[in-house]
Structures are given as structure tokens and as C-alpha cells.
């Protein structure tokens, strides 16, 4: 009995709630619901915040593309708060209040007269113009200050050097003069204003200048038929952007780019252009703004004669392994028939094909003027040169317009001898590419830099 009584009591004890002394205890939950509610509230807030961020991002992206779409077709007049068709901006007629649509457009430049300083021949011999004739400058009384002053006149400020060249080693047309020599103590005077005429050089030598470390790369080793290239091998190559890649160009200083005039025929608003430099792969990032685009005043849209233009960056680029100017050639740099040259760019990989995303290069050769004239007839002017492979297969294409044609001189410097201008198709047999002849327009280039720097 005792055992059964004990068992009964144990069973009864089990049925007694732990908090039996609290009334209605069995109705109170074991856990508090407030933390759960707070947790649910925080989750809802996070979801709403994420939704708001996503919606905002969608609106921003949509707004960006709508803005780009509008900019593609319209110009916005900020002062009069209205849109005009893009074709009406930079058309020579003011459509906005105060003519703001005509204020920042490409401009033409006429080089009145002769730029009075030049380098000539493969030896880069210095000559000055006295108003009538070109005279070769003797090494007599020449100083390092003269070198610095003269190179500054030519638009170069970095690493100028000079050396003497014996008159006896010059090409025949330069051996007999006429000559000129600087005055003693005239180092800071512009060189063409600091010389006197001479029949012979007292030292028997003349001045040769190397005004910068332009055109030098560590390696000298798909345009159509081309191969992949690295920007470090052609660091002067740039891409001109206006809603994407439009043309190529060449750095000739930290702030100036040489390109083709036809790139701007229907794109005259300066603010729409940017410049990508220092990149092997095509990119829209890291571009530089432009504050001047100057077209050769004799450029002919029908014949592409004088197809040359210059762009001035809003601020100089930092020169380094991936960004470095190419040399402007000395006047009359010899370019014999079949001279090896290189063309680079991000053009079409084949006729009517896709644009390259990686920089391309092609080894081609100079085509003689007689051969090229026989192909293109009167379309070939003195301001044009031909290059390519007559058998076909290698050439520059539309996307490379304005890009560089370069030649490696005996001093191991790359010289800009041509600018991609026009052609008949791409890489067709007996249809070489036609390039603007830089040698023939050096006077214009130097004058633009001097007058607009």
C-alpha cells in the first residue's frame, strides 16, 4: 500500500506545474513575442530599403540612357532651356540664346607665312628662314641654351639635345649652303632672330637637334591582316570618342594630337569629343577632355585633300611607358619605295566586319607615287602618300581614320609620316591605303602649336 501510495503521489507531482503558485500560469507563453516582432519589422525595413535602392538604380540607369539617347539627336540650350536638333549646332547659324550652340565648335586655321624654324633630312639638321631663303645653322658659338630655346619654338620642352654634324657628310643639296650662325650670347632669343648669314661655317659643322625622347619605345618588334599589339609598343596611339570610338589619332606632345579632318565633318561640337590614351583594349573609361579641335583651312570634303586636324587636350597627359609622343619627322625625311612602315588602330578586322576591341598593328610598305598615281589618278594630291601591300590582305580600315602611319628612323625613333585618310575598300589587291602626307604639312602643324599653346 505504501508503495502504491508513493507512486500515486509521484504521478500527482508530475502533473503540478512548475509555477503552480502563479494564477493562470498555464496560459502564459514560455517565450516573449516582442523580439520576434522586432525581428520581423527589421526584415521588412531591409526589404523596403533594398527595393528602394534597386528602383533608384533602375531610374538612374534609365535616366543615363535616356540622356544619351537625347544627346545623340539633340543639343540642349542651357540659357534658353530648349532642345534643338543636333544638326543645327555648329552649323554657322545661332539657334540658341546668345549663340551658345556655335560657341564651342571645331575651327579652321590658316598658317599665314612660313614657320621660321625646321629640322631637315634624316640627320635632323637645323634650318632657319630669313624671309626669303632657308639657311642651315652652323655649330659656331652654339650653346645648350640655344638648343633649349629652339626646341621650345618647335613645341618641345623635355630632354632637348644637340650635336654637330660635319658639312662634308650632308646630302649634296645642303653641303653648299646657304648657312647662318648665331650671335654670341643670344641663347634666349628665338633662333631665327639671332642669326647672321654666312657663306661657310667656321667650325666646318652644323647643328643637329633631337628635341625630345619622342618616338622611343622599349620594344621595336586587327587592322586588316594585322596582329594584336600592345600600347607600350605604340604609346602615341589614341582613340577619339564621340559616343564610342570614332577615329584614331597620334600624340605629338603631352597636349596635342594629330588626326584626320574628315573625322569631324558631321561632329563639330568640341565638348562631345574625348580621348582615350594608354590603353591596349578599347575602353570608355579614363578618357581626357578636349578644349580645341582645329581643322586645316584648305581641307576639301570632296577630295580629302589637306585631310589633317589637331586636337588640344584640356590638360596635358602624364607621359610614361603607355603614353608617349611620336616624333614629327624632319622635313624631307627620305622614304624610299618599299620603305617599311607600321599602321596601328582599332579598325575593322575585315571589310564590313567588326571593329577590333584590342589594338592592332600591321607591317606594310611605302608605295611609289608613280604606282599610286597609276591606280588613283588625279585623286592623289601632293598632300597624300600611299602605303600597303599591293597583293592585298593588309591595310587600315574605316575605324582607323586619323590614326598613325609611322617609320623607324636610323636614330631608332618612330616618326609620324602619315595619317590614315581614305582608300578603296579594305586590303583589296592593287588598292593601297592613302594617307595624309605629314611632311607636306609640317609648317601648318608647327604654326598651330605655336599660336594655340
Catalytic residues: 262, 307, 401
* 316 neighbors 268 (Cβ within 8 angstroms): no
Angle at CA of residue 75, ends 70 and 81, nearest 5°: 100
**Side-chain-facing half-sphere of 364: CA atoms under 13 Å:** 34
d(CA 453, CA 60): 39
Q: Which residues contact 217 (CB under 8 A, 6 or more apart)?
A: 232, 233, 234, 235, 324, 414
Radius of gyration (C-alpha) of the chain in whole angstroms: 35
* 318 neighbors 251 (Cβ within 8 angstroms): no
Amino acid at each position: 500500500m505504501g508503495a502504491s501510495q508513493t507512486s500515486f503521489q509521484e504521478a500527482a507531482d508530475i502533473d503540478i506545474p512548475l509555477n503552480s503558485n502563479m494564477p493562470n500560469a498555464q496560459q502564459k507563453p514560455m517565450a516573449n513575442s516582442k523580439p520576434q516582432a522586432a525581428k520581423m519589422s527589421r526584415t521588412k525595413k531591409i526589404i523596403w530599403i533594398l527595393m528602394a535602392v534597386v528602383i533608384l538604380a533602375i531610374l538612374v540607369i534609365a535616366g543615363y540612357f535616356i540622356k544619351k539617347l537625347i544627346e545623340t539627336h539633340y543639343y540642349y540650350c542651357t540659357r534658353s532651356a530648349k532642345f534643338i536638333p543636333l544638326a543645327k549646332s555648329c552649323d554657322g547659324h545661332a539657334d540658341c540664346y546668345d549663340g551658345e550652340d556655335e560657341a564651342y565648335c571645331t575651327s579652321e586655321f590658316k598658317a599665314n607665312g612660313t614657320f621660321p624654324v625646321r629640322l631637315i633630312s634624316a640627320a635632323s639638321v637645323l634650318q632657319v628662314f630669313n624671309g626669303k631663303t632657308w639657311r642651315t645653322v652652323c655649330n659656331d658659338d652654339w650653346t645648350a641654351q640655344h638648343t633649349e630655346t629652339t626646341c621650345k619654338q618647335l613645341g618641345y620642352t623635355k630632354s632637348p639635345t644637340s650635336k654637330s654634324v660635319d658639312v662634308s657628310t650632308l646630302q649634296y643639296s645642303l653641303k653648299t649652303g646657304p648657312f647662318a650662325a648665331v650671335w654670341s650670347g643670344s641663347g634666349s632669343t628665338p633662333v631665327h632672330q639671332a642669326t647672321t648669314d654666312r657663306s661657310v661655317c667656321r667650325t666646318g659643322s652644323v647643328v643637329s637637334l633631337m628635341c625630345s625622347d619622342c618616338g622611343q619605345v622599349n620594344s621595336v618588334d586587327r587592322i586588316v591582316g594585322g596582329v594584336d599589339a600592345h600600347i607600350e609598343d605604340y604609346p602615341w596611339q589614341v582613340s577619339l570618342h564621340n559616343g564610342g570610338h570614332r577615329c584614331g589619332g597620334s600624340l605629338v606632345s603631352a597636349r596635342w594630337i594629330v588626326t584626320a579632318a574628315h573625322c569631324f565633318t558631321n561632329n563639330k561640337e568640341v565638348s562631345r569629343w574625348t580621348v582615350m590614351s594608354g590603353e591596349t583594349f578599347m575602353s570608355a573609361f579614363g578618357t581626357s577632355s578636349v578644349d580645341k579641335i582645329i581643322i586645316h583651312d584648305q581641307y576639301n570634303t570632296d577630295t580629302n585633300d589637306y585631310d589633317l586636324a589637331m586636337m588640344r587636350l584640356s590638360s596635358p597627359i602624364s607621359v610614361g611607358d603607355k603614353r608617349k609622343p611620336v616624333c614629327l619627322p624632319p622635313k624631307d625625311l627620305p622614304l624610299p619605295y618599299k620603305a617599311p612602315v607600321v599602321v596601328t588602330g582599332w579598325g575593322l578586322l575585315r571589310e564590313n566586319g567588326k571593329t577590333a576591341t584590342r589594338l592592332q598593328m600591321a607591317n606594310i610598305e611605302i608605295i611609289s607615287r608613280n604606282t599610286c598615281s597609276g591606280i588613283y589618278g588625279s585623286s592623289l594630291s601632293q598632300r597624300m602618300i600611299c602605303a600597303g601591300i599591293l597583293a592585298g590582305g593588309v591595310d587600315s580600315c574605316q575605324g582607323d581614320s586619323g590614326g598613325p602611319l609611322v617609320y623607324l628612323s636610323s636614330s631608332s625613333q618612330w616618326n609620324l609620316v602619315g595619317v590614315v585618310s581614305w582608300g578603296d575598300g579594305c586590303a583589296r589587291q592593287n588598292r593601297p591605303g592613302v594617307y595624309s602626307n605629314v611632311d607636306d604639312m609640317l609648317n601648318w602643324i608647327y604654326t598651330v602649336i605655336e599660336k594655340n599653346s
